[in-house]
Every structure is written in C-alpha cells, then in structure tokens.
C-alpha cells in the first residue's frame, strides 16, 4: 500500500463549487477520491501519448446478417491477434450484435486496430476505451 500524503490546494471558490457539484453528480464519496481519479486519468493519457504498454477495450455494434462484414471483422482481428486478449460476442436481438474486444499492447497498434474495425462498412457503432495496464498507477 502506498503512503498517503496530505496537501492543501488553493483555488477559486466558484471553481471549487463547480467541482463539488460535478463530484456529487458522479457519486464520488469525497474530493480526494475525485482528485485521485483526475490524476490517474491524466497519467493514462500520458501512457497512451508516450507509447507505453497500455490496455483497452474496443466495442462494436453490427448486424450479423451482413456475412461479408462478419468475415471482414474476423480477418482484421486475426491480423492484430498479438494485441487481442479476449473478445466477447453478445447477440442483442435477432440481428444486432455487440462485440467487446479486450486489447493490450502499444497504443499506435491498438488505435490502428480500432480504426480498422470501426471504419469497416456496416459497423453501426464502434468505440475505443483507452485504459491502462495499471502498472504505472498507484
């Protein structure tokens, strides 16, 4: 367990009120927890920008009746197999599928995979959650 350090922060009253309203909306138990999250978020952004090993999740929504599309998505994933930790396929209704692809590796390569699958014709929605391996975070 890391050592806890207390420190004071000076900021404008109005800004603090806005922050408190936001952390209330987000259900943080206190300012410290909200502050920790902001710092971690910034550190994760830095990991991605600096090309460190990162983790993430790509989500896709598509219609499985488009067989060409399904084959294409599988082909692309095989081209990037070294990044893919696991993938989950959920049949949401009679035609729509949700696919969640967990990835780990270098940011540029993960982004390339995300762009490739998202831009495949017929994909209704795609997004990339930029997360961390957790190693660089306390």
Considering beta carbons, is residue 18 or 91 the nearer one to Ni ion?
Answer: 91
Give residues in contact with Ni ion (CB under 5 A): 64, 91, 97
Smallest distance from Ni ion to CB 125, Å: 14
Going by the DSSP 8-state scheme, the letter that residue 40 receives in this structure is H
Smallest distance from Ni ion to CB 97, Å: 3
- The number of CA neighbours under 13 Å toward the Cβ of 6 is 0
Residue 7's φ and ψ, nearest 5 degrees, are -150, 155
Considering beta carbons, is residue 44 or 97 the nearer one to Ni ion?
Answer: 97
Please tell me the distance from the alpha carbon of residue 42 to that of residue 81, in angstroms, as a whole number. 28
Considering beta carbons, is residue 60 or 97 the nearer one to Ni ion?
Answer: 97
Smallest distance from Ni ion to CB 79, Å: 21
Considering beta carbons, is residue 97 or 101 the nearer one to Ni ion?
Answer: 97
Smallest distance from Ni ion to CB 94, Å: 9
Please tell me the distance from the alpha carbon of residue 121 to that of residue 123, in angstroms, as a whole number. 6
Residue of minimal Cβ distance to Ni ion = 97
Q: Which residues contact 113 (CB under 8 A, 6 or more apart)?
A: 58, 76, 77, 80, 83, 101, 103
């Amino acid at each position: 367990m890391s050592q806890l350090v207390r420190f004071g922060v000076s900021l404008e009253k109005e800004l603090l009120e806005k922050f408190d309203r936001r952390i209330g909306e987000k259900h943080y138990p206190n300012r410290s927890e909200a502050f920790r999250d902001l710092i971690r978020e910034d550190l994760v952004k830095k990991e991605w920008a600096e090309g460190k090993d990162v983790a993430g999740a790509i989500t896709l929504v598509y219609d499985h009746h488009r067989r060409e599309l399904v084959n294409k998505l599988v082909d692309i994933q095989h081209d990037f197999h070294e990044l893919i930790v696991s993938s989950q396929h959920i049949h949401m209704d009679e035609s729509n599928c949700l696919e969640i692809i967990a990835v780990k590796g270098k940011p540029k390569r993960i982004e390339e995979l995300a762009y490739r699958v998202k831009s495949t014709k017929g994909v209704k929605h795609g997004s990339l959650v930029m997360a961390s391996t957790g190693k660089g975070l306390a």
